[in-house]
Chains A and B, each alone.
Chain A
Amino acid sequence: MNSFEIFLAAQTSGAAGWIAERASLSGVDGAGAAALYLALKIVFGVAAIGVVMCFAALSVVVERKVAGFIQGRFGPNSTYIPYLMLVPVVGKTLRRLGLMQLVADGLKFLFKEEPLPGHVNKFWYTLAPIISLSPVLICACVVPFGVFEHGGKATALAAANFDLSLLFITVLGSLGVYGAVLAGWSSNSKFSYLGGIRAGAQMISYELVMALSLAPVLMWIAPRVSSPFNLFEIGMSQSGMWNIFAQPLSALLFLLALFAETNRQPFDMAESETDLVSGFHTEYGSFKFGLFFVGEYGHMVVGSSVFICVFLGAWSPLPGLSWPLEWGAWCGVLSFLTFILKILAMIFFFVWVRWTLPRFRYDHVMNLSWGKLLPLALANFAAYMVLACFIK
């Protein structure tokens, strides 16, 4: 079964399943129910993508605002829509928060001329931004944004919830780098090419660290859950204690790898302006650049969701606490809000680190990965393997 089939055949107990079941209770059955189920799946998928896209957009604002504040500025605070300014408090607040700047930027990307340089490989050049964005959107469908009670069982508030979702998300998430590599190659420019190569090399080196830092966590929770590769189950297993306290080293390694994989400072080698102009998207402009841009932030959102699910207790508001399932729909809403809040905190952290640390040198990044982090991750893995024997 390939991953797409896994994705489709996924689960029957998700939120969409819940609604479809209600529908079939009220008389719709057979093909009608199946069609409804499929339609609901699509709606949920679009909703999940919507959440991630909103957050990707929001993180651009957060980025610019926090950058400004850290540097003693205000960040974007002047763009406004004239008619919106007539609304008493709202208009002014939106303006000060720089949210209208976001609209302006988006429109600019959309309406700018779409240049296609003469010296590029047109097919791959056009495809690259799409390849860079789409894995993120697919991953969005797997993220369990919350938990609610259905038929006496805890159910994931996700478009798709299946046994290998953690694997699915890590594998698909790293496919995004093909966008960078293809962009670098097809742009036919040395800066882009170097950027693409760096993106690829960095992805390979840090993917190992990431996988190895996840392994001990899976071993740690394996005795307690039925399927340790399921993001939702991993999240549920942390109602007692967050994994970050049980496995601080794994969490640190995963976080470092996440920074590298999402191409964030201090690891943004693929587009380091100081030596590569703008890296793999040097030759891109207007909407295609916008796709890369959104893809990068979307990657950040999905990456933080994984970190939250695996290490930061998913929907539990505080270590040791969790929203009681008996609250029904309220539990769903509260857990969703908790998750969203955690994503925001993670985005803030990403931005905060970006404006604190200088960029590493490329060879240092490679050295850090192969020379330091990988042995450390291996040692961590081995240590937990030994430990797991004793625990059993």
Chain B
Amino acid sequence: MAIVVVERKKLSFWERTYLPQIAGGLWITLKNLFRKKVTLEYPEQRPALPARYRGAPTLVKDPDGREKCVSCQLCEFVCPPKAIRVSPGAIAEGSPYSHIEKAPAKFEINMARCIFCGLCQEACPESAIVLQKEFSVNGFDRKSFIRGKADLYEKGGVLPDNVMKWRKASLNAEKSKGGR
């Protein structure tokens, strides 16, 4: 490849003294001095989080107030740092949802381990575990980072569900029973 000799611009006398450039620079920084500040003063001001922000994982209920988790343990399996521990339990015989068969007896997420990756949310077949907006998880000892089932449901709350597949399933089951 041929060597291209770049033609340098001839500097004028003032440009070589560098002084007008300094003055220009000073003017720019002076203007910046009065510009609106971009700092978010964190503990007092909170950032506006986007709708699909991935904060701490929580467990959610459907609009009927039913716990959505069926303790399939897929989230436990997929979680890279093994933050989730699910102990499956049975749903009582008399419950209207007894056809689901399983619900977690215990569900623990160790927030000291969780890396907010969102794989649990992706893996969950029931959309029962959702990463919501909490981003600042603090505690004074390691135990306080382990969140139990009640805690997770409280943090998760109720999310809208357009499908309600288990209600349909139970209706179908009743229908087929009546048709017979």
Contact = CB atoms under 8 A, between A and B. Distances in A.
Nearest to A368: B18
A355 interface: yes
B32 interface: yes
B45 to A, nearest CB: 12
Contacts of A357: 22, 25
Contacts of B38: 72-73
B37 A73 contact: yes
B26 A72 contact: no
A70 B33 contact: yes
Given A66-B33, A352-B30, A72 B25 contact: no
Nearest to A71: B32
A356 B39 contact: no
Nearest to B43: A78
B141 interface: no
B41 A356 contact: no
A12 B139 CA distance: 67
A327 interface: no
A74 B37 contact: yes
B136 interface: no
A133 B38 CA distance: 37
Contacts of B37: 69, 72-74
Contacts of B36: 72
B29 A355 contact: yes
A204 interface: no
B39 A73 contact: yes
A357 B24 CA distance: 11
Nearest to B24: A356
B52 interface: no
Contacts of B22: 353, 356-357
B25 A69 contact: no
A352 B41 contact: no
B177 interface: no
B35 interface: yes
Most chain B C-beta atoms within 10 Å of own C-beta, residue among A66, A353, A356: A356
A174 to B, nearest CB: 25
Contacts of B26: 352-353, 356
Interface in B113-139: none
Nearest to B26: A356
B23 to A, nearest CB: 10
Given A72-B38, A74-B39, A356 B25 contact: yes
Contacts of A66: 33
A69 B33 CA distance: 5
Interface string A47-87: 00000000000000000001001111110010000000000
Contacts of B39: 72-74
A66 B41 CA distance: 18
Interface string B36-51: 1111010000000000
15 contacts: A66-B33, A69-B37, A70-B32, A70-B33, A72-B36, A72-B39, A74-B37, A74-B39, A74-B41, A77-B41, A352-B30, A353-B22, A353-B26, A355-B29, A356-B26
Given A70-B33, A73-B38, A77-B41, 7 more contacts: A72-B35, A72-B36, A72-B37, A352-B26, A352-B29, A355-B29, A356-B26
Interface of A: 66, 69-74, 77, 352-353, 355-357
